[in-house]
Every structure is written in structure tokens, then in C-alpha cells.
Structure 1
């Protein structure tokens, strides 16, 4: 409003200069009377954005008064700003109405001029002049309003895209955190569970000879070293710029190593491979390896003293089945259920099926992982 008021003062001063320079057509009124319509039009400029309809009304009144006395160039020019402000900042439907009104007025003025001057050229000149004075600011205001609406729409669309990008980023971060949690759990839980169970056994029994104690301690050390190596590999993968999955890839074909470590921890594991082993996609290989690893860890912590592992290679599918009896050993070890959740998530990520629950007085974990042959 302050800028509009200053602009109104500037317009009034320019209008006075134009009057002093003779830019008016005098009929009956004195020169000072032309300042009245000029002031009314400038008052409309002062409220052009705060009250656009009032600015339009003041402009119409000023134009009618000025035409009755003259007209004067300064007032006519300022009235065009009143027309622009009314359409630009007023109701949206006002633009169409004003365009029609100014068009009708231009045609009517041309007809009157043609009748008065009895010449078609006078009618054309007056019609064009009135059309330019009245129609140009209206069309300009409508065009600027359309540009403003377009800019607002683009701004809203950009904000929406930014919000969607932020949601995608948050989802990606959450998915990466979940993946890291699964990897850390599956890598560390197996080794730490074996360490906890073996150390508990050594501490709870005092009749073990030195050879058995040494054997258990060697197994504890092996699990500790293996856990540290896998942790270093995970940290190295996180620190490097690009992923090198082959460098840290675990394979279903390496499940025998998991079986050997479980046996060293005191679990009687029987492993059987059905079908011809073959190369699997990296995602399926890692998921299958971690599922077997976590299943053996759970069997070691919460099961009995034995477990059966069956790996089946079928056309377009690899199946993993781990059965173990449910015993009381290791029940004092804490478990938050993250292992089952992680195995299910891994299976879902590769589009497979996962089941875990009681089976024949024991516990069964079964996963069916599709391979590229099925797509």
C-alpha cells in the first residue's frame, strides 16, 4: 500500500505537468478543474491492490468527469491503470465482463463519431482509440493474471515434486537402514550366539579336561575372528564409493561352511542337497545364505542338539528347509524376533515365499526363492 500511495503521488505530479504543458482539450472548464478528475484517478491508484473494485470505480468516475470537461491526456492514462488494477486484482469473472463492456463502448463510440462527423474514417479512428484505451489494459491484466496462475501452478507442482522426492529419499534411507540392520544381525548373531553358548557351557561344567576346554576356546576364537572379518567387510563396503557385490557376495553353495561352524559349536547338523547345484542370482544367493545362517543360529540358541538342512535346486526355484527339534537349551539367551523378520524381508525382496513355525514337534524354516529362470 505504501508503494501504491507513492506511485499515486507520482502519477498526480506527472498529470499536473501534462496539464501545464497543455496536454488537454479545453471546452468550458478552467484549467484548475481538470485537477479534480486527475486526483480521483490517482486515488484509485493508491488503492489499486488493496481495493481493486474501488480503484475501478474511481477510474470510471474520473474518466466521465474528465470527458465532460475535456478530456486530458494525464487522466486518461491513469484511468487505464485503474482498469488494469480492477481486472488484475479483482474477481476473476470481472475480466470477461470488462472486455465485453469496453468492446461495446468502442463500437458505440465509433458509431456516434461516424454519425456526428458523417465520415466512416472518423468512426474507425474513434473506435480504435477507445478500443486501445479500454481494451488494452483489460487484455494485459487478463494475460498477467493467467501468467500468475500458471506460475502458481508450476510452483505448487514443484513443491509437490520436492515433497515426493523427500518421501522417496526417506523411504530409500529407511530401506537402506533395514538392509544394514539385516546384514549386521545375520553376520554377527551367528558368531556371537555360538560364542555365548560355548562360553556358557564351559563356565557351567567343571568336569571338562584341558583338551576339551582348549577345543571350545579355539572354536570361540574362530567365531570371534570370523565375526570381526565380516564386520570389517561390511564397514569396507559402506565406506567405498561404488558397490562391488562380487567382492563381499555370499552364496548358497557356501552353506557347507555354515554347517561346519554350527557343528563346531556343538550342533549336530545333517545337510542334504537335492538337484544339481547351479549359479544363482546375487540377490538370491545372499538371501539364501543368510536364511540358512540365521536358521542355524536359531537352532543353536533355542533348539535342541540337531538340525537338518535341505537345499533343493528346482527349475526356476531354489528351496531352503531347516528343521530342528525344540529343546530347553539356550532358552535363557535373549531373542527379539529380528531374525524371523529379517528372513521374511529377504524372501519378500526377491519375490519368494517364506514360512517359519512349529512342525512335527520341532521348528521348521522353509523358503522358496525364485531364480532368473522363472522370469
Structure 2
């Protein structure tokens, strides 16, 4: 089973495409050729480079006929060794860049023509820098440059071709520019690759954060909807069972309330789950807000809780997010009263002040359970809703024995009273 595990997002150290099972064309290759792509080595690009260097060197030999040594079998083998090393440039970039520099120095020391042999070195240096082996790249190209200076200005007397003279120092300037250009391009690509990797990681982190926030939002919505509705159902079920024999009509009323509350809960759960549909789909029903407070009061009344609603200040049109948060906070607070308070009366005060919306939910107690203070998910959900809008939640026992939940939600400028 361990061999079947695959990394979630493999990224090659040399910046290649994140193929999980090899290049996409692997399965389409004929049978004898599938091994070429299976090991992950750059066979195709290395083959193209080899053909280019061999053919280009033949052309360079004709152009430099009489000035440099003729290409022979040894020269071909040295060129082939240099390009063959490039096959491992992604797995062993440091070793390859020194190996290619050594074969290039051997080629030049043997007096063979200048030409595409330097392309091999440039590719090896580029691969080493991109892979993060900067010291190896600088060291190898520095070694090659110093070796070229020794060969061109001192050792040429004892090396082929016969009658060779010292190289022009102006040519060394060209070589220096060539070296700097290779290193500059490689460094630029390395920095761009690191930036791409950083951007990709940031996008992945942002996607994970959005997914976490969405899961939290759905969990909070489901908790608020289900906790309130099931509390009402639980109370009415108890009433129905108690009065089933002595007062069937009252029991029927309790069952009717259970049916209504369950239908309401199913509708709201369906609305929450619709957010899991394909992105871009609009919800089929508007999110609840304080305009549905009368329904909430009626549901609480069916559970035996009398709710008195008071409004202070000039009402304003709230943004959808703030309106939903305010509704859910009141709903959860009333649910806690039904579940954890011995009082059958609650007071909801909605204050529209300058710059903020204040919500106060009070009951006279006493608490019926040790967790009546609301230390569970309900209070945590209320705090998360308020915090998401920059607001706060205060919840605790009152000196007279009751309990109060107080929420402050900041308003945006267009929501503030004029």
C-alpha cells in the first residue's frame, strides 16, 4: 500500500512540470519506447542537443579549416560525452556541470574547433543555477574560463594544432560577456521560478483558508438552525406525551407545532446545503434576517417561551451578512433560554445606535443545568459571527440571577442612521 501513495502536488527541484506519473505522452508511446519517458530523464531534449552539437561542430570545423584540428573519432566521443551528461542534469546538476566543463576543456585543449560545444556548458550551468546549485555553476564555469585562458595564452605551445598562436585578448572579453549572460539568464529564471512557486503556495493556502472558512460557516449555520428547531421540537414532544391521554386537543397542538418546526428546519438546512452546489449558483431563497424576528418569537412561544421585543433608535437597512448574523445571534440566545433557563420569559432589545447595532437578550433565570451559561458551541458560534463582522459578544449571569447576552455589531457607513 505504501508504494501506491502519491504526493499531492509534486514539484521537481529543477522547475519542470509537476507530472505525477511521468510526462503525459508516456502512455501514448509505442511499446519499445515507453522506457524512455518512464525514468523521468530528459531524453528527447538531450537527443536534440546532441544532434545539434554534432552537426554544428561539423559546420564549425569547415569554417575553421586549417586554423583548428580536424574533427576525428575522439572529438566526436568527447562531444557525445558532454551532451550525454546532460541526461542527468536534473538529478545531479552539480556533478553534471563540472563534468560538462571538464569535457569542454578537454575538447578545447585538443585543439578542436570552437562552436556549439559551449552550448552544452551553457545548458549545464543553467540547469545547475535553476536547481539551486549556484556555487557549483559558478565554480564550473570559472574553472572552464581559467582553463581556456591557460590553453589560449600559455599551453597552446605544446597543444594541438601545430603552429597555433596565442588568442587575442579581445576575444576573452567576448567570452566574459558570454559567461555573464549565461549566469544572468539562469539567475533570472531561478528567481522567476521561486516566485512562481511562492505564488502557487500562496494560492493553495488561500484556497485552503477559504475552504476552512466555508466549512466553519456551514457548521455554524447548521448548528444554529438545528439547535433552535430541535429544542422547540423537544419541548413540544414532551408536552404532547404528557397530555396525550388527559388533553388530546392540546397534544394535537403540540404535534402541529412539531410539524411546523421540523418543516422550517428542513427548509433552512436545505438552504445551507445549497451553498455546496457548483460555484456561481445563486441561493434559491434569501438568507434570514431580523425581518423574520416575528416568526422566531412565534416559534419560541410554541415552546412555552414568551418573548418581548423592544427596538431602540432609528431602524436601518442592514447588509445581508450583518442581518443574518443578528438573526442567528438572537435565535441562538433564545434557544439557550429554552434549553437552559427556568424562566419562561425573555426580552430582546434591538438598539440602532450611531455606528453599531446592539442586541440584548435577557431572561430572569434561574439556570436549570450546570452549562446554562452557554459555554458550548452555541456561544462560540455567536462570538465567531460577531467577530467576523468586527463585533463582540458578552454573555454572563446578571446580579439578579438571570442571564444576558449582549452583542455589538459595527455598521458600515451606508447602514448608519442619517
Q: 1:339 to 1:99 in 2, by over 3 A?
A: same
1:80-100 deviation digits (Å, cap 9, x = unpaired): 736973996464166578779
Shift of residue 168 of structure 1? 0.7
**Match in the other structure for 2:349:** 310
Alignment of 1:1-375 (within 5 A): 23-24=65-66, 39=74, 43=78, 46-47=81-82, 50=96, 51-59=99-107, 61-63=109-111, 75-77=112-114, 81=117, 85=121, 89=125, 91-92=137-138, 95=141, 131-132=170-171, 136=174, 139-204=177-242, 208-236=246-274, 238-239=276-277, 242=280, 247-304=285-342, 305-327=344-366, 329=368, 337-360=376-399, 361-373=401-413
Structure 2 residues without counterparts, runs of 5 or longer = 1-40, 86-95, 126-135, 155-164
1:154-203 deviation digits (Å, cap 9, x = unpaired): 22211221111111111111111111112222222211110012212333
Instruction: Provide the C-alpha distance between the structure 1 equivalents of 2:122 and 2:198, rounded to a whole number of angstroms.
Output: 32
Instruction: Provide the C-alpha distance between the structure 1 equivalents of 2:67 and 2:267, rounded to a whole number of angstroms.
Output: 98
Q: 1:25 to 1:169 in 2, by over 3 A?
A: closer
Instruction: Provide the C-alpha distance between the structure 2 equivalents of 1:22 and 1:224, rounded to a whole number of angstroms.
Output: 93
Structure 1 residues without counterparts, runs of 5 or longer = 27-33, 64-74, 109-122
TM-score (norm 1): 0.71
Instruction: Provide the C-alpha distance between the structure 2 equivalents of 1:141 and 1:37, rounded to a whole number of angstroms.
Output: 28
Is the contact between residue 54 and residue 79 of structure 2 (CA under 8 Å) also seen in structure 1? no
Q: 1:240 to 1:257 in 2, by over 3 A?
A: farther
Task: State which drifts further: 80-89 or 302-311.
Answer: 80-89
Q: 1:323 to 1:245 in 2, by over 3 A?
A: farther
Instruction: Provide the C-alpha distance between the structure 1 equivalents of 2:308 and 2:210, rounded to a whole number of angstroms.
Output: 39
Q: 1:188 to 1:356 in 2, by over 3 A?
A: same
Match of 1:234, SS state, is helix
TM-score (norm 2): 0.65
Q: 1:84 to 1:138 in 2, by over 3 A?
A: farther
**Match in the other structure for 1:71:** none
Is the contact between residue 197 and residue 330 of structure 1 (CA under 8 Å) also seen in structure 2? no
Instruction: Provide the C-alpha distance between the structure 2 equivalents of 1:36 and 1:318, rounded to a whole number of angstroms.
Output: 88
- Greater Rg, structure 1 or structure 2? 1
**Match in the other structure for 1:31:** none
Instruction: Provide the C-alpha distance between the structure 1 equivalents of 2:211 and 2:200, rounded to a whole number of angstroms.
Output: 16
Match of 1:367, SS state, is strand
Cα RMSD of the aligned pairs, angstroms, is 4.5
Instruction: Provide the C-alpha distance between the structure 2 equivalents of 1:312 and 1:87, rounded to a whole number of angstroms.
Output: 71
Shift of residue 147 of structure 1? 2.1
1:51-99 deviation digits (Å, cap 9, x = unpaired): 2453354245324xxxxxxxxxxx1326x73697399646416657877
Task: State which drifts further: 142-151 or 47-56.
Answer: 47-56
Q: 1:46 to 1:268 in 2, by over 3 A?
A: same
Instruction: Provide the C-alpha distance between the structure 1 equivalents of 2:270 and 2:74, rounded to a whole number of angstroms.
Output: 82
Kindly tell me the number of residue pairs found equivalent between the two proteins: 334
Q: 1:201 to 1:190 in 2, by over 3 A?
A: same
Task: State which drifts further: 289-298 or 209-218.
Answer: 209-218
Shift of residue 271 of structure 1? 2.3
